[in-house]
């Protein structure tokens, strides 16, 4: 199999396509269920400061059902009565909190949940003299032990947004099905397909220039650094980075090494800068946070932009990526990814620039190991696919049925309402 180097790796690149044109609208499907569905809404905050905790994990204990909080610290979790008796809330650097389902509000009212900061005295941890290079070597040597060696089928929720300055141009989201290949087999690739999706956009005429996000769903999945270890975790790639063991941190009440990495000064190609959280007990990667080096903006733009109109100059201003894993039993699993890219766009002979920003995120909401079938090539999303061209428009708040989703933040809620005004829908039940 041909291995991909960082210059062409879609994992790093939220590939953008600037296309003059107009997007279409469509309709949603409705699903009903006989069992009683409990909907738990909540907001997670710091107990001392009342600051919302972003990307906190929410899990129905004893199941693989989970979701994450949005940028306002809010979440929505759907479970059937009797499916779980407790939910667990976790965040980096905080004590986990477990709450009984029967003590939580399961109507439209919000459960306010506070987490306490977890202080771990150094004396309580046996810190061995170990170099960051040695830690990552142990990570690579423990992949087969720490991650699945059999296929998994995952259910996830995917969302992507495109903004022009402060206004949303498009919002798309979907329940996706994922074939997660074994981590010890580089020849078996992951696959993703849309099960149910919807979108909204504000295209008004044929002269509108829109950013279309290419390969957003596949990129979100390819951010799994452990599965795609050749992107960074090989001896050759690691030699391009300076590594520093900077601190210890807790995730899910487990101690982690925190390793900072940055490309070495003599490396010319734009690489990454960020942090890796490594579980001290198992030497599994628990979280990765990074950005792309934008010092050479022209070269970075050539990596990030696939196509643009003549006369347009695109300058990347910011990138931010987050990948999270969660342990279940003795194995760690890909749990969440988020990618954010901001560009400034200038037209020739125009004085003012326009800022475009894109965000994609995917949360794994369920997982099974039995009767897993690989998707056919025809069903899978391809890196060249444009998600918003695959789904139809929406307004119905009951669209998702019992599927777990990421609660939209307040600005997205307002954008959906604004973009939905005046839409007409066909009577159809496909995507």
Provide the pLDDT for residue 340.
Answer: 93
Asked if the model's pLDDT at residue 225 lies above 70, the reply is: yes
Contact present, 15 and 384 (Cβ < 8 Å): no
Tokens of 376: 């056919």
CA distances (Å), origin 172, targets 198, 278, 337, 385: 6, 33, 16, 14
Q: What is the pLDDT of residues 3-59, one digit of tens each?
A: 334 443 434 444 455 444 333 322 223 334 347 899 999 999 999 999 999 999 999
- Contact at 8 Å (CB) between 201 and 170? yes
Q: Which two tokens stand for residue 317?
A: 């201003």
Does the pLDDT value for residue 255 go beyond 60?
yes
Which two tokens mark 153?
A: 């089928």
Q: What are φ and ψ of residue 428, in 5° steps?
A: -145, 160
Q: State residue 17's pLDDT score.
A: 52
Report whether pLDDT(203) > 60: no
Q: Residue 239 contacts by C-beta under 8 Å, 6 or more apart in sequence?
A: none
pTM metric for this prediction: 0.85
> Which H helix or E strand runs over 220?
helix 216-222
pLDDT tens digits, residue range 96-139?
999 999 999 988 889 999 999 987 655 555 555 678 999 999 99
221 with 34: CB under 8 angstroms?
A: no
- C-beta of residue 75 within 8 angstroms of C-beta of residue 363: no
Taking the CA atoms of 126, 132, 134 and 137 in sequence, report the sign of the dihedral they define: positive
pLDDT band of residue 300 (cuts 50, 70, 90) is confident
Distance (Å, whole) CA 128 – CA 119: 20
Q: What is the arithmetic mean of pLDDT over 303-321?
A: 82
Which tens digit of pLDDT belongs to each residue from 367-382? 999 889 888 888 899 8
Report how far residue 139's alpha carbon sits from residue 267's, in angstroms, rounded to the nearest whole number. Answer: 24
Q: Which residue has the tokens 């999303």?
A: 381
Is residue 159 scored above 60 in pLDDT?
Answer: yes
In 3D space, the residue among 30, 107, 78 whose CA is nearest the CA of residue 399 turns out to be 30
Instruction: Please say if the pLDDT value at position 148 is more than 60.
Output: yes
| Pairwise CA distance, residues 390 & 375, whole Å | 18
Contacting residues for 234 by C-beta, under 8 A, at least 6 apart:
none
**Would the pLDDT of 391 be above 50?**
yes
Mean pLDDT, the chain, rounded, equals 82
CB 391 within 8 A of CB 198: yes
The CA distances from residue 3 to 30, 234, 382, 415, in Å, are 42, 12, 17, 41
Using pLDDT thresholds of 50, 70 and 90, give the confidence band for residue 392: confident
Structural Rg of the chain based on CA atoms = 22
Helices (H) and strands (E) in the chain, counts: 6, 21
Nearest alpha carbon to residue 277 among 226, 242, 328, 339: 226
């Amino acid at each position: 199999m041909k291995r991909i180097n960082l210059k062409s790796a879609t994992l790093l690149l939220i590939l953008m396509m600037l296309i003059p044109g107009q997007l279409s609208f469509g309709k949603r499907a409705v699903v009903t269920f006989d069992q009683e569905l409990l909907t738990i809404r909540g907001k997670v905050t710091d107990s001392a400061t009342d600051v919302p905790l972003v990307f906190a994990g929410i899990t129905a204990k004893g199941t693989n059902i989970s979701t994450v909080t949005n940028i306002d610290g809010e979440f929505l979790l759907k479970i059937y009565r009797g499916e779980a008796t407790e939910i667990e809330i976790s965040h980096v650097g905080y004590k986990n909190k477990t709450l009984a389902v029967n003590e939580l509000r399961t109507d439209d009212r919000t459960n306010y949940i506070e987490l306490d900061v977890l202080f771990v005295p150094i004396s309580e941890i046996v810190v061995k003299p170990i170099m960051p290079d040695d830690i990552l070597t142990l990570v690579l040597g423990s992949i087969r032990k720490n991650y699945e060696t059999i296929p998994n089928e995952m259910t996830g929720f995917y969302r992507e947004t495109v903004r022009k300055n402060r206004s949303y141009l498009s919002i798309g989201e979907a329940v996706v099905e994922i074939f997660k290949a074994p981590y010890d087999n580089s020849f078996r690739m992951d696959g993703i397909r849309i099960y149910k999706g919807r979108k909204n956009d504000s295209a008004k005429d044929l002269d509108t220039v829109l950013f279309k996000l290419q390969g957003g769903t596949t990129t979100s999945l390819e951010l799994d650094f452990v599965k795609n270890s050749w992107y960074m975790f090989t001896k050759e790639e690691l030699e391009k980075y300076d590594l520093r063991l900077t601190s210890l941190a807790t995730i899910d009440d487990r101690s982690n090494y925190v390793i900072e990495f940055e490309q070495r000064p003599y490396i010319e190609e734009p690489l990454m800068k960020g942090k890796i959280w490594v579980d001290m007990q198992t030497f599994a990667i628990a979280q990765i946070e990074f950005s792309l080096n934008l010092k050479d903006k022209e070269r970075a733009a050539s990596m990030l932009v696939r196509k643009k109109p003549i006369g347009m100059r695109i300058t990347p201003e910011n990138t931010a990526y987050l990948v999270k894993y969660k342990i279940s039993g003795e194995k760690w699993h890909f749990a969440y990814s988020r990618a954010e890219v901001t560009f400034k766009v200038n037209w020739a002979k125009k004085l003012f620039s326009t800022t475009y920003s894109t965000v994609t995120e995917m949360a794994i909401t369920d997982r099974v190991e039995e009767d897993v079938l690989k998707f056919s090539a025809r069903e899978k999303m391809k890196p060249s696919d444009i998600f918003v061209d695959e789904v139809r428009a929406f307004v119905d708040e009951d669209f998702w049925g019992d599927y777990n989703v990421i609660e939209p933040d307040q600005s997205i809620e307002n954008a959906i309402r604004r973009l939905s005004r005046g839409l007409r829908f066909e009577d159809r039940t496909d995507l």
